[in-house]
Amino acid sequence: MAMLRRAIAAGLVVAIVMLYLAGVGLIGAFADRQVVTGYLSLGRLMLLAPLMIGGYGMARQAGSIVRRLTLGAAAGGIGGAVFALGILAVLALSPGVRDVFIRFNDDLLSFALFGLEPGPGAVLNVGLGMVLGLVGASLPVVPPVVRRGLLVGVAGVVLMSGLEPFVRPRLTDFDLHDVVLFLYEDQGLLPLAAVVVFAVSALLGVLWRPARAEVQRRFAEADPGAQRVARWVAALLLISFIVTLPQLTGVFLTQVLVLVGLYILLGLGLNIVVGYAGLLDLGYVAFYAVGAYFTALLTSPTSSLAIGLSFWAALPLVVIGSAMIGLFIGAPVLRLRGDYLAIVTLGFGEIARVLFLSDALAPWFGGVQGILSIPDIIGEGSYTIPLLGEIKGPAATYYPLVAFCGVAAFVAWRLKYSRTGRAWNAMREDEDVAQATGVNIVNYKLLAFAMGAAIGCLGGAIFATHLESVFPGTFNVLVSITVLAVVILGGMGSIPGVVFGSLALIGLPELLREFAEFKLLVYGGVVMLMMILRPEGFVPDVTRRRELHEAEEEPEEDDDTADPENPEPTATAAPSQA
């Protein structure tokens, strides 16, 4: 009985989520975005996914397999039924009242009922709910390999169809018309192509882990010389991939990559402040703004300084100036902890924006008009890189940005495994004890702020030259929140996590343009879900992962060897080095 009650509760939650997604307009926005042309749209997928997740949740409970599957199907069926009831209820409203629910227009209602009459449509919803609930419920029951294959396969299909606007023109550029015809019709995949993509992705998903384990085993068995060679080869492959990316992806995607790179840079900086030192800074945008405005002042011939330095000449001044601002902001908040620190830094972020906007300071910062005619990063509009040819457009920003990200990641990585990094971590864990252990809290807090500021200002500097202008409106609190979301999604204190977070939170929404309107809604949802379900992030720091999922972790699976960013500590820990 208790279990049945939980199934009903799960079904209700699922239905509420579905109705909510429909009510805010997400479903409608994606109803025409095809995944498999003629069969499945992204909007449909969004309606169906909650049913599966509900079933999955039920089957994670204890009990016999039959019981779990039954409850999953029940939860899905109840979810579908309540959703259908909700839709029918809206249909029953008189037209005047229905106008209040602006997103529940005729198109959406018909979409929710699969274009059928209300009766059959509702029944189909219930039936589909039961089937999907059952499928979801079978996920925890089937072997992990099957589960992984299924999920990666579906993800592959969604990604391939989502990337259509970018894949199609590139394939055409490379004269692969047959491939295009095989894969796509309109925006979505053709059914056969969808099956192939699903199979290939599923296979990759299944083979990935054993392959990785095998590579790791061979790597561990290799002698140190071969290991070094392997490491260099891997690094070279990665670098050449990153370097040729703009050539492969085309102008628009490069523009997206620039945006992703900017947030990687900002995330790396904030990661030092929040992830390493544990200082929750909600005003990180201030450093971004300061970097952008310093760059604008120093390089734009029309700024109040009117000295028109080149970007590279201005850069050291910008970094030093921003680090000083970091100290300046850090000093008054030295004594604050936790929530109080968060509130005050939030205020500082707003103060920065208001100062740049203010009429009183307009002679320097240009007020609402901002500062214009900032020269681009090279000053010529394009430059030439051997082997790659002439670089122009967003790619001209991409390369310096990648270099900056590399430098920032390198600094963050070296600091992480240093005396400084340990002192920061200790401070994060217990400020009083850290101090009694000999850590000079004042210095290390200021260092964290200055370091975060120096990295954040690099992002601002790039941003200013990329847009060739700065406006105060750009630097609002949402930037701070977004950067924080990037850090949280990837995993606090994790360097690859920042890259992942930025790709997922900045890159994906750019690819799905229908998404723009709902970006913040989704960010909020993502951060909440992460905090509840996976607080260590998707690509967690090794120690952090251990801390939060001690019990459910497969036994000692990839503790030392899997650390993607630093193979060194294990090497130094080995007695052979001593």
Under the criterion CB under 8 A, does residue 572 sit at the interface with other proteins? yes
Write out the two tokens for 155.
């993800």
Under the criterion CB under 8 A, does residue 440 sit at the interface with other proteins? yes
Cβ atoms of 24 and 518 within 8 Å: the answer is: yes
* Least distance from other proteins to the Cβ atom of residue 540, Å: 12
Write out the two tokens for 95.
């037209």
For other proteins, the closer of residues 447 and 505 by Cβ is: 447
> Which pairs with CB-CB distance under 8 Å and at least 24 residues apart come from 512-516?
512/30, 512/33, 512/42, 512/162, 514/29, 514/30, 514/33, 515/29
The whole-angstrom distance between residue 121's C-alpha and the CA centroid of its chain comes to 36
For other proteins, the closer of residues 205 and 493 by Cβ is: 493
Judged by CB under 8 A, the chain residues 382 through 411 that form the site for other proteins are 410-411
For other proteins, the closer of residues 244 and 570 by Cβ is: 570
Under the criterion CB under 8 A, does residue 60 sit at the interface with other proteins? no
For other proteins, the closer of residues 218 and 231 by Cβ is: 231
For other proteins, the closer of residues 423 and 484 by Cβ is: 423
DSSP 246-315: HHHHHHHHHHHHHHHHHHHHHHHHHIIIIIIT----S-THHHHHHHHHHHHHHH-TTSSS-----HHHHH
User: Angle at which helices 144-162 and 42-59 pack, to 10 degrees?
Assistant: 160
* Least distance from other proteins to the Cβ atom of residue 530, Å: 18
Under the criterion CB under 8 A, does residue 277 sit at the interface with other proteins? no
Under the criterion CB under 8 A, does residue 32 sit at the interface with other proteins? no
Under the criterion CB under 8 A, does residue 439 sit at the interface with other proteins? yes
Cα distance between residue 228 and residue 215, in whole Å:
14
Under the criterion CB under 8 A, does residue 455 sit at the interface with other proteins? no
Size of the site for other proteins (CB under 8 A): 37
For other proteins, the closer of residues 116 and 531 by Cβ is: 531
Cα distance between residue 213 and residue 219, in whole Å:
10
Binding letters toward other proteins, positions 407-436, x by CB under 8 A: ---xx--xx--xxxxxx-xx--xx-xxxxx
Cβ atoms of 87 and 116 within 8 Å: the answer is: no
Under the criterion CB under 8 A, does residue 573 sit at the interface with other proteins? yes
Q: Which residues pair with 465 in a beta bridge?
A: none
* Least distance from other proteins to the Cβ atom of residue 228, Å: 16
Stretch that binds other proteins, among 104-112, 339-347, 522-530, 538-546 (CB under 8 A): 538-546
For other proteins, the closer of residues 64 and 577 by Cβ is: 577
Under the criterion CB under 8 A, does residue 437 sit at the interface with other proteins? yes
Stretch that binds other proteins, among 256-264, 379-387, 496-504, 545-553 (CB under 8 A): 545-553
* Least distance from other proteins to the Cβ atom of residue 536, Å: 10
SS3 assignment, position 35: strand
Under the criterion CB under 8 A, does residue 534 sit at the interface with other proteins? no
For other proteins, the closer of residues 392 and 422 by Cβ is: 422
Write out the two tokens for 17.
């989520």
Stretch that binds other proteins, among 55-63, 73-81, 312-320, 543-551 (CB under 8 A): 543-551
* Least distance from other proteins to the Cβ atom of residue 433, Å: 5
* Least distance from other proteins to the Cβ atom of residue 66, Å: 37
The correct pick among 228, 560, 562, 571 for binding other proteins (CB under 8 A) is: 560
* Least distance from other proteins to the Cβ atom of residue 410, Å: 8
Q: Which residues pair with 389 in a beta bridge?
A: 385
Under the criterion CB under 8 A, does residue 562 sit at the interface with other proteins? no
Under the criterion CB under 8 A, does residue 547 sit at the interface with other proteins? yes
Under the criterion CB under 8 A, does residue 546 sit at the interface with other proteins? yes
Cβ atoms of 506 and 486 within 8 Å: the answer is: yes
* Least distance from other proteins to the Cβ atom of residue 569, Å: 9
Write out the two tokens for 232.
């260099």
Residues listed for the chain: 578
Cβ atoms of 452 and 326 within 8 Å: the answer is: yes
Q: Please give the DSSP secondary-structure letter assigned to residue 190.
A: P
Under the criterion CB under 8 A, does residue 578 sit at the interface with other proteins? yes
Give the sheet arrangement for strand 188-189, strand by strand.
Answer: 40-41, 34-36, 188-189, 184-185
Under the criterion CB under 8 A, does residue 438 sit at the interface with other proteins? yes
Under the criterion CB under 8 A, does residue 557 sit at the interface with other proteins? no
Cα distance between residue 117 and residue 533, in whole Å:
39
Question: Tokens 């606090």, residue?
Answer: 492
Cα distance between residue 311 and residue 497, in whole Å:
30
Cα distance between residue 183 and residue 197, in whole Å:
9
Task: Tally Cβ neighbours within 10 Å of residue 85.
Answer: 15
Closest CA to 414 of 338, 495, 334, 322: 495
For other proteins, the closer of residues 358 and 561 by Cβ is: 561
Helix (H) or strand (E) holding 42: helix 42-59
Under the criterion CB under 8 A, does residue 244 sit at the interface with other proteins? no
Judged by CB under 8 A, the chain residues 164 through 223 that form the site for other proteins are none
Binding site for other proteins (CB under 8 A): 410-411, 414-415, 418-423, 425-426, 429-430, 432-441, 447, 451, 543-544, 546-547, 550, 559-560, 572-573, 577-578
